[in-house]
Structure 1
Amino acid sequence: MYGNILDKNHLVDVIDSFYNEYKKQAPAFGLYFFLSPAVVITDLNVIRDILIKDFDVFTNRGAYHNKESDPLSAQLLSLEDSEWKVLRHKLTPFFSNYKMKMIFRTLLNVSVQTIENLKLENDLQMIDAKDMFLKYTTDVMANIVYGIDMDSKNELSYKFRNMGSILFEYKTYTIFKALCMLYLEKVSKKFGLKLIPSDISEFFLGIVKTTVKYRLQNKIERKDVIDILLKIELENKDGVKLSIEEIAAQCFVFYLYGFETVACTGSFLLYNLAMHLEIQNKLRDEIKMVLWRHENKFTYEAVQEMNYLQMVIDETLRLYPPIFDIVRKSSRKYEIANSDLIIPSNTYVLIPIYSIHRDPDYYFEPEKFNPDRFIDRTKANLHSMAFIPFGSGNRNCIGSQFGLLKLKIALIQLLTNFKILPNEKTPNPLVFDPRKSILTSSTDMWLTFERLLENLELFFAMAWSSISIIFVTLILLLYRWIKKRYSFFKINKFPYVEPTFPFGNLKGAGSKYHANELFQKLYIELKHQGPACGVYFFLTPNVMITDLDVIRDVLIKNFDNFHNRGLYSNERDDPLSSNLFSLEDNEWQHTRMKLTPVFTSAKMKMMFNIIVDIANEMTDELKSKKSLEMIEARDTLIKFTIDVIGMVAFGLHWSAIKDPNSKFHEMALKVFKPDKNFFMKSFFLTTFKSLGRALRMKFFPADVSEFFMTTIKETVDYRLRNNVERNDFMSLMLKMYTEESDEKLTLNQLAAQCFLFTVAGFETSSSTSSFVLYNLAVHQDIQDKLRNDVMNIIAKNNNKVTYEAVNEMKYLQMVIDETLRLYGPVATIVRVSFKDYKILNSDLIIPKGTFTGIPTFAIHYDPEYYPEPEKFDPERFNDENKAKRHPMAFLPFGAGRRNCIGERFGLMQTKIAIIQLICNFKILPNEKTQIPMKFDPTVPTLSPLGGMWLKFEKLK
């Protein structure tokens, strides 16, 4: 059934393998596409005969089209005989040099807008070159073909791109349809089988119908494709009169092949320039020199003089021709010259462009990217059919000049503004996407765009004549930029409170107020004005979601649009910052999947007794103290959780409980006791990630980073040298580090995950445990009830604290949940929108790249969900009350796929600590206990001002 094409690779690889096998045996060979025989031509002289000399035999492509039921299929690419010839003749003038000059300025304007949009990207370290080119070519083709001025950021542009890209995908049902059309053409037409999906057809037909109607009614003329086609229709010369559907079909094919093919070529070209910086520099030098000769004016004539640019494009088209083969159909029996081979009538003939372009008979070292192949003297020695990216003869690509011009303009703009570099996500080697009918990479074309400083200097040198004017101008530009930033929510119609420069809505945060208290105040003020509101974090706009249903959409239903946190990471200079919490996209997903097994119930059971032993050590240490009148509970629990992490994660005795000078204790505290510049540094690194990386800035203090990196490296080295295996977190990390795969962890990545497990594991659990003790001290009745419940369950389990016994302690869970409601360690969940997002049942749209926050602290204190929210009442979390509440009204660990991976582990060590303490001590307030609780504004997490001082009284 599959003929010769059953393969998991791209179709071009299959054809290429047969080409190399048979090309020496004859000027042509046969290939079966499913049940259809096709003749593949390998001899260049025969190819020239077919495309030029004997074109009358091979005029048609044999492509399916059906004007009646599938009007967009009846376009220039598929039309046949005289119908094709007349229409081609009518359309040819649109692609003349004269027309190219006329549309040059339009192309230039779109390219300038593309560069400006690119400069607005938060992170130029990771740019998908193909996506960028698709946006550019979409905007160009929408303008040139349909006369629509478009911006790649709007929804219509996205719809154009999406619908165009779908048509180049191989899918099972499209292959099935193609087979029906190939073998049962008349039946397919009779039953109205469509090549173009109905929704796509209706969309593009609708665009043309609306545009044509408006132009005819208002007598509007534009120098675009629709205009040319309208003139053909109105003039009715040579008996050619186009229907509105035929006009739409021609517009459609020009758009379709003008946006995807150029985008693929452009992305492949940038890839090769990134991989060959010497060629990139040479090309940039030529561009500069030619523009200098034209007084730095970007003109049509200047572009035509850039010979090396043409050579680079030609070499890219040689290696990656977007249309990798030419298909023709014989109209009669045809004898191949100088052979006994005869091509029967109505047989498909295929010319394998890709294989010819990579044939070592014509190109020395064909896999190598070498633009010098296309120097005039070298080209002169090349057979004319050895390079045919646009076909040849009467039916070559009608829009080749136009395609080259828009590609050149984009490349000139990019290379005069950026240096293109590979990065860790750049595909190498390139693999073609087998799901696509054209040549395109199977992965996104990730490249780094580095701004060229010299362009900035040139701009200032040409624009201003004195330092004072430059300074004033920069101040004005800064003012405009700030004003624009502070207009974000007004423009996007979100309710908001007027910001104060430079603090935004957080004036006093970190000094007078805790940031969460300010967020809560804004939440109360703006909650009833819509499902979301705007908050300025210094100069950065953040959308705060206040509606619980929308929160569920963001965290769960539409997770794909909010899967990243937008945090700063810099693996090169600050390796510990590239941890699971800050990783993005596939890197996060892969790491999360690998780490999940360490937090299963089975793993929790394995760790349980270790944690109990350390909790006993903590209670013994407390009992040994001379006085228990003044105990800093939070510090006690930090030492406990540090020792737990050391043992269950790394198999190390960190001895924080017994050693008052523990280095681990000192360094762990430093992470969550940042310096006074923490908020400003966080703002800067979040807002200007690329600049932060360029300046090699670090999020974590250097001594903290060095200490943990050294500790982890020594542990890794010891285990690998001594073949140490343990069922702990480090063993799992080592498997990911030593595995033989492309997805293995580097040592820096391993260290980052271990570091996160350490600091997150000790901070959240110690914070929660200490707040539980505080609440129990202030509410003795609840403490007594909890102690009785815990002791009764332990008694039922042979007076042993077991994993099963702890899971029976429902009231303990209720106490912890109520504590997490009041003092959740993470007070705001942050996400970044991957693309524009319309909030359900509202007119609000969250723009792409916008920080989006879920204010868990404010929600947990909302009287709408929790009456008397300041009151500590564990009964809020009995089964009956929980069932009445919206699931998003309680989010201490987040929700959805990016919730806290260590939730179960954190709760388990918290429960064990509380059980051991209340079974051995009565917890009481003392004169240093804060009542009511006040938070330390200088600490980003919720931390009691002045410490958590409590009195411990031994139980008899």
Structure 2
Amino acid sequence: SQPGSRKFPPYDSKITHPTREPHSWSRAAALTEGDPTCTNRVHNQSVSTSLEARVSGFVVSVRSQPRRRNKRAVLHTHTTRKATRKLGTEEMEPLSAAKETFIMGLLFESLSADIVVGVFTLLLFVYLRYSYSYGYWKRKGIPYIPPPTSIFGNVGDFILSKKPPGTVMMELYHKLEGKPYGGIFMITSPALLVRDPEIIKQVFVKDFDHFVDRSLNIHEKINPLEGNLFMLKGKRWRWLRTKLTPTFTSGKIKMMFQVLIDCASEMNAYVSPIANSQDSLEIKELIAKYTTDIIGTCAFGLQFNSLKNPDSEFRAMGRKVLTSSATKKAKILLIKALPFLAEVFNISFFDMEASNFFLNAVNDTVEHREKNNISRSDFLQLLIQLKNKGHELAKETFIMGLLFESLSADIVVGVFTLLLFVYLRYSYSYGYWKRKGIPYIPPPTSIFGNVGDFILSKKPPGTVMMELYHKLEGKPYGGIFMITSPALLVRDPEIIKQVFVKDFDHFVDRSLNIHEKINPLEGNLFMLKGKRWRWLRTKLTPTFTSGKIKMMFQVLIDCASEMNAYVSPIANSQDSLEIKELIAKYTTDIIGTCAFGLQFNSLKNPDSEFRAMGRKVLTSSATKKAKILLIKALPFLAEVFNISFFDMEASNFFLNAVNDTVEHREKNNISRSDFLQLLIQLKNKGQIAEDRTSGKEDAHLYYKIRNEESSNNQKFELNDGLLAAQCFLFFLAGFETSSATVSFCLYELALNPEIQERLRKEVDTVLQNYKGTITYEAIQEMDYLSRVVDETLRKYPPVPNLDRQCTKKFTFPGTNHVIEKGISLIIPVNALHHDPKYFPDPERFNPDRFTEEAKRTRHHYSYLPFGEGPRICIGMRFGLMQTKVGLVSLLSKYKFSPCEKTSIPIVFSPKSPTPTSTDGIWLKITNRE
């Protein structure tokens, strides 16, 4: 919008530039255009539910209505000079420590960065800001509709997905009956709803130079597709609109007309077999495929074949971009409310996977045409022509405008005031450890505390904590900051023992906030707290005894045999193999059978849906980090928008898989020897039958929990959601940790052939005693195998950092250092495992570190691959067993060696919360002689 004011003839109303009003905020709403006579239109849409344009910095929403000439209103703004309220010292009293620490590992005892910005103070600030904003139209003397809620203004029903936006605006339109326009509130942002067609004409045509832009903030650096004609502003929009105008002349449309005819013929051929049959047809999907094929040919020069191929990737990506969800609304809200976070975390209006797909499709097509001197009669060719005639037109600018012209209305809160509040809160929080008199590491940045390198995906979390660990050399513990949340980094194994065991009742919980109502899968044993965790941990203890593992042992053998069959054709060939993916399929099939009672067939089926969903949950991204950041910083928004730690599509998939399997078994009276059957037994009978004999190997399962069972009289129900959550945890934790361990182990064995040969001899010797058969007892006899696995877990701990949350105020004995309730304690496992004080020459792979004599020379709590104490990993024994079975099965038949693709040394991905090789783990496999 241009500075100055503009009157609305015949009304004596004017709109002033936003700089005259110090409390103006960025406005957000949707703009569509419907005047066919206007030559300056970006697009002509025949269907319009809510029309908006920017009026000197705020939004005008317009609705068609017959003009009422007998009504007049005054619209004006005036400069407000009221001083902003000061934050008095009484508002800056020390806040209680945040009760959460930001966790980046989805299901592992991983640590991640967190931000807690004084929720109650923020709510008070927001409330005051809302109250002031809702007086905007009253101060202007313009008729308006008071908002029914102090949170979402007049559009709460749309924000909360109760009503579509057209219906919401129609209801507001009727409430302004008799008025040419009236004020409404999009959250706290004032907007003008225009009803009079004459004023709409004024906005769209007569005074278009005052209402040029749509109210969309774009970030082309994050996603080039946001630079499309629909979203561009000002001079860049004018320039591109002028250049593209010849593209849609009647002559150009005639040039592409045959494409429309061909696609229509294919549609008729598709419908023909259905006509006169008993089947009905979903028309929207049919026509969507027809139009997708047209756009594919005209815009991309490609045959999409959506009608013939129901799994067309272009059709799927189109749906992905246009499908609305509460998560997408929350993401756009974050973009609008905290744009600096959008830039930091590379958050876009559009799904990045779909965006990259369309970018690559266009770039590849353009490159192919230019390289091979190909020319076609389509829209893309016209754009290539425009590009090559010397016009500086980025290939990405036009893509989204070709496909979709839809974007929902959005809301913006007071960004600059919020930033000021956050800055003050940060500055105060960073003095926490100094006030406590505890040594600490000053944060290098005022945004991300001490963990910025992980948040920004520059370094993996294990490396970040190792660097902090070394900065506290000589101290038993020290303070750090996870974003603004203070946390205590513990270095001394004796204090770790105190936290994990001796004073466990002060450090029961992990620092995770769970929302089971949003996603039942968050009610898993890893994330549960307090009494519910104690109850469930006690009930699940018999599930992982040695007896129960023996019951499932044959499943491990069967899956290992299938893995060998998969590897056999590759051995001795010229091909290398990516080991991590191979082992992940092996462990996925094991967990699928044991946890879900289903045959996943990941080895035989590379497109296994369970494998794909497992990857989807565990794959880290900036968007996921930003989502979790929002959950932690503004938990009330997480509940409003139903935002979960886990991907909701994958969560629903696992929920349905478990519920359907349970229902089928109960309905048909089916019983199997697997983990799911034990949970069904617990659900129906209230307990799992324990083995009559449990040896020393099961001692870790009964760590202190048994002593507390009698005092925990409160009973909880194992409902379907809680049951599914445990299967989900078993699946994710089981396949990821074991597959990583086996992969890294084979990598080290390939680089250390003498260790590989020594282990192979042990495998051969023991198996000879069991007639060449891998049995539970044979695995137990392989002492050197255990040492090799232990050394792998030392060098590559699956969970690089553990955490606990202080649940009761605690004072370290012999000091005046008080740990308040809610403070998180970080145990840097990776740093301990690589400390030369405990493990000399830590980068060398040496299984002899784990002989009984060697283990007695160091502190027990310097080695923590599975944690310790009552919250030790309950599935530790099962994980070790499937790891060892996989290794023995492979080593008994094959040799492993480095190849050209092998990364030496491994480069770890800074994006993953667990140790993951950036380039994969590629090895050469040969048959044994």
**Mapped partners of 1:473, 1:933: distance in 2:** 45
Distance in 2, matches of 1:629 and 1:921, equals 14
- SS at 1:820 equivalent: helix
Residue 99 (structure 1) aligns with: none
Q: Write the letter of the residue equivalent to 1:640.
A: Y
1:480 to 402, 424, 429: 424
Alpha-carbon offset, residue 761 of structure 1: 0.6
1:494 aligns with 2:426: no
Structure 2 counterpart of 1:708, from 648, 654, 658: 654
- Residues 926 and 951, structure 1, Cα contact 8 Å, conserved in 2: yes
1:848 is aligned to 2:821: yes
Per the alignment, residue 514 of structure 1 pairs with 460
In structure 1, what is the Cα distance between the partners aligned to 2:91 and 2:538? 37
2:775 matched to 1:829? no
Out of 770, 778, 781, the position equivalent to 2:754 is: 781
Equivalent position SS for 1:714: helix
Q: Which residue of 2 aligns with 1:597?
A: 542
Residue correspondence of structure 1 range 432-443 to structure 2 within 5 A: none
- Aligned equivalents of 1:471 and 1:667: distance in 2? 37
Q: 1:780 to 1:891 in 2, by over 3 A?
A: same
**In the alignment, what sits opposite 2:719?**
746
Rounded to whole Å, the distance in 2 between the matches of 1:694 and 1:716 is: 31
TM-score (norm 1): 0.50
Counterparts of 2:610 and 2:869, CA distance in 1:
33
Q: Is residue 741 of structure 2 the alignment partner of residue 768 of structure 1?
A: yes
1:555 aligns to what? Answer: 500
Work out the percentage of aligned pairs sharing the same amino acid. 38
Deviation, 1:840, is: 2.8
SS of 2:896 mapped into structure 1: strand
Asked if residue 655 in structure 1 is aligned to residue 577 in structure 2, the reply is no
Given candidates 562, 571, 574, the residue that maps to 1:617 is: 562
- Which structure 2 residues correspond to residues 223-622 of structure 1 after superposition, within 5 A? 474-499=418-443, 500-509=445-454, 510-528=456-474, 530-622=475-567
Deviation per residue, 1:621-651 (Å, 9 max, x gap): 1103484632110000000001001112222
Kindly state the Cα deviation for residue 678 of structure 1 after the two structures are TM-superposed: 3.1
Going from structure 1 to structure 2, the CA distance change for 1:513 and 1:117 (only over 3 Å counts) comes to closer
- Inter-CA distance 943–469: structure 2 relative to 1 (3 Å threshold): closer
Q: Aligned-pair distance for 1:743?
A: 2.1
Q: Is the 8 A contact 1:712 1:751 kept in 2?
A: yes
Contact 1:531 1:546 in 2 (8 A): yes
Question: Is the alpha carbon distance of 1:748 and 1:662 closer, same or farther for their aligned partners in structure 2, counting shifts above 3 Å?
Answer: same
Q: Is the 8 A contact 1:643 1:654 kept in 2?
A: yes
C-alpha separation in 2, matches of 1:519 and 1:476: 30
Cα distance in 2 between the residues matched to 1:918 and 1:657 = 19
Secondary structure of 2:452's aligned partner:
coil
Preserved contact between residue 537 and residue 683 of structure 1 (Cα < 8 Å): no
Alignment check: 8 A CA contact 1:578 1:749 kept: yes
**Number of the residue aligned with 1:882:** 855
- Alignment correspondent of 1:792: 765
- TM alignment of 1:660-679, pairs within 5 A: 660-679=606-625
Shift of 1:684: 3.8
Looking at structure 1, the residues matched to 647 and 607 of structure 2 have their Cα atoms a distance apart, in angstroms, of: 20
Aligned residue for 1:939? 912
SS at structure 1 position matched to 2:926: strand
| SS of the residue 1:527 aligns to | coil
- Separation in 1 of the partners of 2:771 and 2:531? 48
1:682 and 1:628 map into 2 onto residues whose CA distance is 44
Conserved 8 A contact 2:741-2:798: yes
CA distance in 2, matches of 1:812, 1:120: 45
Structure 1 residue aligned with 2:673: 727
In 2, the alpha carbon distance for the partners of 1:752 and 1:693 equals 19
Following superposition, the deviation at residue 722 of structure 1 comes to 0.6
Match of 1:902 in 2: 875
Distance 2:905 2:814 in 1: 40
Q: Which deviates more from structure 2 when the two are superposed, residues 880-889 or residues 486-495?
A: 486-495
Q: How many residues align?
A: 500
Q: Give the aligned residue type for 1:831.
A: R
Counterpart of 1:878 in structure 2: which amino acid? T
Q: Structure 2: state its 5+ residue gaps.
A: 1-88, 101-411, 687-713
Residues 736 and 661 of structure 1: CA distance in aligned 2, closer, same or farther (over 3 Å): same
Matched position secondary structure for 1:534:
strand
Which shows bigger deviation, 945-954 or 551-560?
A: 945-954
1-structure distance, mates of 2:629, 2:740: 25
- The answer (yes or no) to whether the contact 1:527–1:533 under 8 Å persists in 2 is no
C-alpha distance in 1 between matches for 2:787 and 2:646? 35
Alpha carbons 1:622, 1:628 under 8 Å: kept: no
Query: How far, CA to CA, are the matches of 2:97 and 2:811 in structure 1?
Result: 21
Shift of 1:723: 1.1
Select the structure with the greater relative contact order (CA < 8 A; seq sep ≥ 6): 2
Give the AA of the match of 2:508: H
RMSD of Structure 2 on Structure 1 (CA): 2.5
The residue that corresponds to 2:384 in the other structure is none
CA displacement at 1:899 relative to structure 2: 0.4
- In 2, the alpha carbon distance for the partners of 1:634 and 1:120 equals 40
- For the residues of structure 2 that align with 1:723 and 1:531, how far apart are their CA atoms? 57
Q: Conserved in 1, the CA contact under 8 Å of 2:97 and 2:821?
A: no
Partner of residue 890 from structure 2, selected from 917, 935, 940: 917
- C-alpha distance in 2, partners of 1:815/1:113? 59
Report the counterpart of residue 643 of structure 2 in structure 1: 697
How does 1:60-139 map onto structure 2 within 5 Å? 122=99
Q: Name the counterpart of 2:182.
A: none
Task: List aligned pairs for 1:856-875, cutoff 5 A.
Answer: 856-875=829-848
| Equivalent AA in structure 2 for residue 871 of structure 1 | R
In structure 2, how many angstroms separate the alpha carbons of the residues matched to 1:119 and 1:554? Answer: 21
Distance (whole Å) between structure 1 residues aligned to residue 583 and residue 447 of structure 2: 38
Q: Please state whether the residue corresponding to 2:925 is helix, strand or coil.
A: strand
The whole-number CA distance in structure 2 between the counterparts of 1:688 and 1:888 is 36
Deviation, 1:596, is: 1.2
Choose which of 880, 893, 899 in structure 1 pairs with 2:866. Answer: 893
Indicate the residue corresponding to 2:131 in structure 1: none
SS in structure 2 of the partner of residue 648 of structure 1: helix
* Amino acid aligned to 1:575: P
8 A contact 2:806–2:823 mirrored in 1:
yes
Residue pair 1:515, 1:940 contacting (<8 A) in 2 also = yes
- Alpha-carbon spacing, 1:501–1:791, altered in 2? closer, same or farther (3 Å): same
Structure 1 residues 633 and 475, CA, compared in 2 at 3 Å: closer, same or farther?
closer
> Is 2:556–2:882's contact at 8 Å kept on the other side of the alignment?
yes
Q: Quick check: 2:519–2:644 contact (8 Å CA) kept in 1?
A: yes
What CA deviation, in whole Å up to 9, does each residue of 1:50-88 have, x standing for no partner?
A: xxxxxxxxxxxxxxxxxxxxxxxxxxxxxxxxxxxxxxx
Shift of 1:511: 2.3
SS in 1 for 2:480: strand
Q: Kindly provide the CA deviation profile for residues 637-670 of structure 1, in whole angstroms up to 9, marking residues without a partner as x.
A: 0000010011122221110011111111111111
Aligned partners of 1:783, 1:809: CA distance in 2, in Å?
Answer: 14
Q: Aligned-pair distance for 1:688? A: 4.5
Q: Which runs of 5+ in 1 are unaligned?
A: 1-111, 124-467
- In the other structure, the counterpart of 1:405 is none
Larger Rg: 1
Deviation at 1:474, TM superposition (A): 4.5
Deviation for aligned residue 1:494: 2.6
